[in-house]
Amino acid sequence: MPKVVDHDQRRAELALALWQVIHEQGIDGVTFRAVAQAAGVSVERVQHYFPSKDDLVLHGCRQMVASAVVDHGPPEAPGDPRTAAEELRSLLIGAMSESVDFKIGASVWAAYQSKAASSPGIGAIVTDALAERARALTRLLAGARGRGGREQPAPTSDDRRDALRLAALSEGLTLRVVVGAVRADEARRVIQAEVDRCVNDT
Amino acid sequence: MPKVVDHDQRRAELALALWQVIHEQGIDGVTFRAVAQAAGVSVERVQHYFPSKDDLVLHGCRQMVASAVVDHGPPEAPGDPRTAAEELRSLLIGAMSESVDFKIGASVWAAYQSKAASSPGIGAIVTDALAERARALTRLLAGARGRGGREQPAPTSDDRRDALRLAALSEGLTLRVVVGAVRADEARRVIQAEVDRCVNDT
Q: Residue A117 — pLDDT band, cuts 50, 70, 90?
A: confident
For the cut 60, the answer to whether the pLDDT of residue A75 exceeds it is no
Nearest CA in chain B to A26: B28
**A183 or B26, which is more confident?**
A183
pLDDT at A200: 87
Instruction: Name the H helices within B53-99.
Output: 53-72, 81-93
Query: Taking residues A45-63, what's their average pLDDT?
Result: 95
Please give the angle made by the CA atoms of B95, B168 and A165, to the nearest 5 degrees: 90
**Residue A35 has what pLDDT?**
97
| Neighboring chain A residues of B93 at a CB cutoff of 8 Å | none
Phi/psi at B180 (5° precision): 80, 20
Evaluate if residue A2 carries a pLDDT over 60.
no
| CB within 8 Å of A90: residues ≥ 6 apart | A72
CA atoms within 13 A on the CB side of A68: 21
Query: How much of chain A, in percent, has pLDDT values that exceed 90?
Result: 63
Give A25 to chain B, closest Cα distance, Å: 7
A27 Cβ partners below 8 Å, 6+ apart? A57, A111, A112, A115, A122, B26, B28
Number of inter-chain CB pairs under 8 A, A vs B: 149
* Confidence band, pLDDT 50/70/90 cuts, at residue A149: low
Burial class (CB in 10 A: 0-12, 13-18, 19+), A112: buried
Which of B104, B29, B175 lies closest to A176, judged by CA?
Answer: B175
Residues of chain B predicted below pLDDT 70: 1-5, 69-78, 148-150, 202
Backbone phi and psi for residue A87, each to the nearest 5 degrees, phi listed first: -65, -35
Eight-class DSSP state of B132: H
Pick the range with the lowest mean pLDDT from A143-152, A164-173, A174-183. A143-152
ipTM: 0.89
**Which of B118, B179, B183, B198 is the mutation pick for testing A, counting most A CBs within 10 A?**
B179
Contact check, Cβ <8 Å, B165/A169: yes
Residues A122-139: tens digit of each pLDDT? 999 999 999 999 999 999
A20-49 burial, b at 16+ Cβ within 10 Å, e below that, comes to bbbbbbbbbebebebbbbbbebeeebbbeb
DSSP 8-state assignment for residue B151? S
Residue with the bigger pLDDT between B28 and A176: it is A176
- Chain B residue numbers touching A113 (CB-CB < 8 A): 110, 114, 175, 178-179
Please report, for residues A17, A75, A187, the alpha-carbon distance to residue A28 in angstroms, rounded to integers and kept in the order given: 15, 33, 30
Q: What is the DSSP letter of B30?
A: -
Question: Is A168 in contact with B173 (Cβ distance < 8 A)?
Answer: yes
A28-57: average pLDDT: 95
Q: Three-class SS of residue A74?
A: coil
Domains observed in chain B: 1-72 (1.10.357.10), 75-202 (1.10.357)
pLDDT at site A55? 95
User: Are B28 and A28 within 8 A, CB to CB?
Assistant: yes
The pLDDT of residue A7 is 84
Candidates B25, B110, B190; nearest CB to A164:
B190
pLDDT for res A73? 57
